[in-house]
Structure 1
Amino acid sequence: MALYVMKFGGSSVGDIERMQRVARRVMEKQEEGHRCVVVVSAMGDTTDDLIDQAKLLDPNPPAREMDMLMTTGEQISIALLSIAIHQLGGKAVSYTGWQAGFRTEPVHGNARITDIQPERVLKSLEEGNIVVVAGFQGMSEDREITTFGRGGSDTTAVALAAAIEADVCEIYTDVDGIYSTDPRIVSCARKLSEISYDEMLELANLGAAVLHPRAVEYAKHHQVKLVVRSSFNKNEGTVVKEDVTMEQGVVVSGIAYDKNVARITIMGVSHVPGVLAKVFGALAQAQINVDIIVQNGVQDGIADFSFTVALGERQKALDVIESIRSQVPYREATSEEDLVKVSIVGAGMVSHPGVAAQMFDVISQQGVNIKMVSTSEIKTSCVIDREKLNDVVRALHTAYGLDTNEQAFVGGPQERR
């Protein structure tokens, strides 16, 4: 008898029919002799609808009240799923994040877990219950309700699996595993039977939306066995683990993209020590994450440099730069949207020269200029214009030998969290 944590995202419980299907799936797992803890997200677009309603009242609503509001979506899901399990003759008990023992830092909207006290969950399991836990939420030490940000239900599931020493954490979504790229763009994408934590973390950070980066980090740190599979069929999924067997001839495991990119360029800055420290220190103090940084050249002691931020933080970053103009004089600051970051990821890249060069060649053959480049041991990323994204992804997928003869499975709209 194994202990499973099973996480179902918003599209998997998007309506009553899907909720009933999840209930049957969980019951089947229990009937096989296993103990089950289920983590669920809010139904369908519930969270987005709640956000829209709040912003009709106040375009900049208080963060505390937004956490109070958004946690209600998951509470609806856990109650309905528990009711559905009861209707099938099962025993189920639902818990909010704080009832399940999640303690967090005192931050609203993007809190990190500081501790989990799962005694209540374990006791309910011993009593023969299926335990249904609300994802995405916890409580700070000062008893404030907090949320974990986008992808927070993945993190809830993995963290809870670590805390209760589950044998496996299954992430159920609308695709039946981790694919070599987005199957909505490349219908012949390859489903991976397994992938390493490091490769999955890179893909997640670079835009692959199947797993949240924080959840993968947690799984790697606590050695939680992850399986990503579909809630719409019973196909074998993808196992995410420490060491994987590298497939013969496959150097690149996956291709990811991120449309949430803006480039900011600061022109006419004095090329003296400390300038970059002041600029990026100010951005860090404003909680703005900077991704790729490129200095564009120095002439007569004057330099230009560019960097990327999340699209939603473009204006905030420009405001920060303007606020330090007296400390860091510059001629002009500009920004550019309609960009995308395309990345190749693979553990085999470490020992195979020329992989990045091939990427640059493939992109150029599509008539696309590369605006920025970033590399690490197992990934290369290029910032390009968004217009030809699909063409570039398909061309890269073919060039690295990732195409298959099979049609990728996509069961529904993409999961939100």
Structure 2
Amino acid sequence: MEVIVAKFGGTSVGNGERIRKAAESVVKEYMKGKKVVVVVSAINKTTDDILKIVHEAIGDAVTEKQLADIVSMGETTSVRIFSATIESLGVKSEYIDPHMDNWPVITDSNYINAKVNYELTEEKSKEIMNLLDQGIIPVLCGFLGRDETGNITTLGRGGSDITAFLMGHCLSAEEVIIVTDVGGVMSTDPNKLQSAKKLDKISVEEMRDLATHGAQVLHPHALRYKDPLINAKIIGFEHGDLSALGTEIIGPAGDQMLKTTALNSEPISVIAVVGEEILTKRGILSTLTDTLAENDINIYGISTGQNSVTLFIDKAVADRAHEVLHEVVVNNEYLSSLSLGMEIAMITVTSQDFIDTPGIITKVTEPLRRNKINIVEISSSQTSVVIFVDWNDGKKAYELVRRVLE
């Protein structure tokens, strides 16, 4: 029988009516012959209310162990209500929280931002499968874990989504369904642009980058737990139907969510375009990039300064790029000159861990400094760093950077 994991966010279970609608959607899938595991967040604003009380009553004197135990009350309450609601609909259900022997999510003892012990969690998840085989719908607390000595821990930001993806992997689920207060991933924030449209599909890599830049649908931490072999989608709670169309999350492809380092196989050339205070002149960037696009020339990177724009392109098309951009320069009053420079190696470093790693650029570049390798240019996002060095230094720089990740 097909196993699905359905995670309901706090807004999705924000009141009694919504909890019943969510429970009905679970029972509906159960009646189709599916085995359903439910992961539930704390009821909307419960955790915030608890934290406010803790701050007022205890302040900074509260320990991390105490805090994890206290905030767990939000999830331990919601699973009991949700499970009882399922049983009121005529289907057997059991709630599972970290105080119980069959609790599956085992972590280290970092109470506030615990790391999952995969081996122990996979072993304990067999007990969840036993419940499914008995026709029982298990309802698990999202966000929470338990260390090996029995203390409650929390999984940090995106914790409930982590629980859902983790259970999907451990139970070899067919699908993980994230039920939220939106109908899926939108082309932009619908509160800011009414023309926003729902996406039918989005890759894990795209979703991760979107999340790191402020999208609230999923936390990027949770995406590292997404099994590439398991389907996943985001739907809105208003449908009351787990089969509703939402946004499908594709991937990741192979080990792309792990730390990776890549070195381009062919040299990249640098073209520098200069002009007085061109950064303040409208349309300069678009003129340069449009010209290259019209000539089917790809750009690997752009660096801007007050008086210059530097473009990184394939060496194989550098002469043609130089020629077409020269025409732009001589016909634009704001541009004065351009140059075709050295051959460059491009090293791309990617890891979700960068989001929570202060000083990552220093860690990546320090070995290059020690080995007297000059960095021509560097760019970064919250999950990747791209370094440009002289082509002759490329392989050595690549090996040095790769060792940092290892």
- With structure 1 as the length reference, what TM-score do the two structures score? 0.58
Report the Cα distance in structure 2 between the residues aligned to 1:185 and 1:198, rounded to whole angstroms.
Answer: 24
Per the alignment, residue 229 of structure 1 pairs with: 235
Amino acid corresponding to residue 237 of structure 1 in structure 2: G
Q: Which ranges of structure 2 fall in alignment gaps of 5 or more residues? A: 254-352, 363-378, 387-406
Report the Cα distance in structure 1 between the residues aligned to 2:96 and 2:7, rounded to whole angstroms.
Answer: 14
Change (3 A) 1:376 1:78: closer
* Alpha-carbon distance, 1:181 to partner: 1.6
Report the Cα distance in structure 1 between the residues aligned to 2:6 and 2:104, rounded to whole angstroms.
Answer: 18
User: Which of the pair has more CA radius of gyration?
Assistant: 2
Query: Does the 8 Å contact 2:94/2:139 carry over to 1?
Result: yes
Cα-to-partner distance string for 1:129-182 (whole Å, 9 max, x where unaligned): 111001111111232210011210000000011001000000000111111122
DSSP 3-state at the match of 2:161: helix
Give the alignment of 1:350-365 within 5 angstroms.
none
Amino acid corresponding to residue 95 of structure 1 in structure 2: I
Cα-to-partner distance string for 1:332-378 (whole Å, 9 max, x where unaligned): xxxxxxxxxxxxxxxxxxxxxxxxxxxxxxxxxxxxxxxxx845999
* Alpha-carbon distance, 1:187 to partner: 1.9
Give the alignment of 1:85-124 within 5 angstroms.
85-97=86-98, 99-115=102-118, 116=121, 117-124=124-131
Amino acid corresponding to residue 115 of structure 2 in structure 1: R
* Alpha-carbon distance, 1:188 to partner: 1.5
Report the Cα distance in structure 2 between the residues aligned to 1:213 and 1:102, rounded to whole angstroms.
Answer: 20
Give the alignment of 1:265-344 within 5 angstroms.
289=358
Query: Does the 8 Å contact 1:195/1:241 carry over to 2?
Result: yes
Query: Does the 8 Å contact 2:76/2:141 carry over to 1?
Result: yes
Cα-to-partner distance string for 1:167-221 (whole Å, 9 max, x where unaligned): 000000011111112222122212111111111111122221111212211115x
Of the three residues 140, 145, 149, the one matched with 2:156 is 149
Report the Cα distance in structure 2 between the residues aligned to 1:22 and 1:375, rounded to whole angstroms.
Answer: 37
Query: Does the 8 Å contact 2:176/2:233 carry over to 1?
Result: yes
Q: Which ranges of structure 1 fall in alignment gaps of 5 or more residues? A: 245-283, 294-372, 381-417
Query: Does the 8 Å contact 1:6/1:172 carry over to 2?
Result: yes
Report the Cα distance in structure 2 between the residues aligned to 1:10 and 1:140, rounded to whole angstroms.
Answer: 25
Give the alignment of 1:14-413 within 5 angstroms.
14-60=14-60, 61-97=62-98, 99-115=102-118, 116=121, 117-220=124-227, 223-233=229-239, 234=241, 235-242=244-251, 289=358, 374=380
Query: Does the 8 Å contact 1:35/1:125 carry over to 2?
Result: yes
Query: Does the 8 Å contact 1:176/1:229 carry over to 2?
Result: yes
Query: Does the 8 Å contact 1:97/1:136 carry over to 2?
Result: no
Amino acid corresponding to residue 76 of structure 1 in structure 2: T
Amino acid corresponding to residue 128 of structure 1 in structure 2: G
DSSP 3-state at the match of 1:218: coil
Aligned residues: 260
Report the Cα distance in structure 2 between the residues aligned to 1:50 and 1:112, rounded to whole angstroms.
Answer: 24
Amino acid corresponding to residue 28 of structure 1 in structure 2: K
Report the Cα distance in structure 2 between the residues aligned to 1:49 and 1:144, rounded to whole angstroms.
Answer: 23
Report the Cα distance in structure 2 between the residues aligned to 1:13 and 1:128, rounded to whole angstroms.
Answer: 24
- With structure 2 as the length reference, what TM-score do the two structures score? 0.60
Report the Cα distance in structure 1 between the residues aligned to 2:157 and 2:238, rounded to whole angstroms.
Answer: 23
Report the Cα distance in structure 2 between the residues aligned to 1:183 and 1:100, rounded to whole angstroms.
Answer: 38
DSSP 3-state at the match of 1:232: helix
Change (3 A) 1:180 1:144: same
DSSP 3-state at the match of 1:26: helix
DSSP 3-state at the match of 2:38: strand
Query: Does the 8 Å contact 1:135/1:154 carry over to 2?
Result: yes
Report the Cα distance in structure 2 between the residues aligned to 1:288 and 1:49, rounded to whole angstroms.
Answer: 30
Query: Does the 8 Å contact 1:137/1:147 carry over to 2?
Result: yes
DSSP 3-state at the match of 1:170: strand
Report the Cα distance in structure 2 between the residues aligned to 1:376 and 1:140, rounded to whole angstroms.
Answer: 30
Greater RCO (Cα-Cα under 8 Å, separation 6 or more): 1
Query: Does the 8 Å contact 2:98/2:152 carry over to 1?
Result: no
125-134 vs 229-238, greater mean Cα deviation:
229-238
Report the Cα distance in structure 1 between the residues aligned to 2:384 and 2:151, rounded to whole angstroms.
Answer: 40
Cα-to-partner distance string for 1:35-92 (whole Å, 9 max, x where unaligned): 1000000001000000001111122121110100011110111100111111111111
* Alpha-carbon distance, 1:118 to partner: 0.7
Amino acid corresponding to residue 113 of structure 2 in structure 1: N
Cα-to-partner distance string for 1:84-129 (whole Å, 9 max, x where unaligned): 1111111111101463311111101111211312122111101101
Amino acid corresponding to residue 187 of structure 1 in structure 2: Q
DSSP 3-state at the match of 1:226: strand
Query: Does the 8 Å contact 2:111/2:154 carry over to 1?
Result: yes
Pairwise CA RMSD of aligned residues? 2.6
Query: Does the 8 Å contact 1:175/1:230 carry over to 2?
Result: yes
Query: Does the 8 Å contact 1:202/1:379 carry over to 2?
Result: no
Report the Cα distance in structure 2 between the residues aligned to 1:169 and 1:241, rounded to whole angstroms.
Answer: 12
Report the Cα distance in structure 1 between the residues aligned to 2:225 and 2:98, rounded to whole angstroms.
Answer: 17
Report the Cα distance in structure 2 between the residues aligned to 1:36 and 1:156, rounded to whole angstroms.
Answer: 14
DSSP 3-state at the match of 1:12: helix
DSSP 3-state at the match of 2:233: strand
Cα-to-partner distance string for 1:239-259 (whole Å, 9 max, x where unaligned): 111279xxxxxxxxxxxxxxx
Amino acid corresponding to residue 176 of structure 1 in structure 2: G
Report the Cα distance in structure 2 between the residues aligned to 1:106 and 1:174, rounded to whole angstroms.
Answer: 32
* Alpha-carbon distance, 1:289 to partner: 3.4
Higher share of residues assigned helix: 2
Report the Cα distance in structure 2 between the residues aligned to 1:175 and 1:119, rounded to whole angstroms.
Answer: 33
Change (3 A) 1:292 1:10: farther
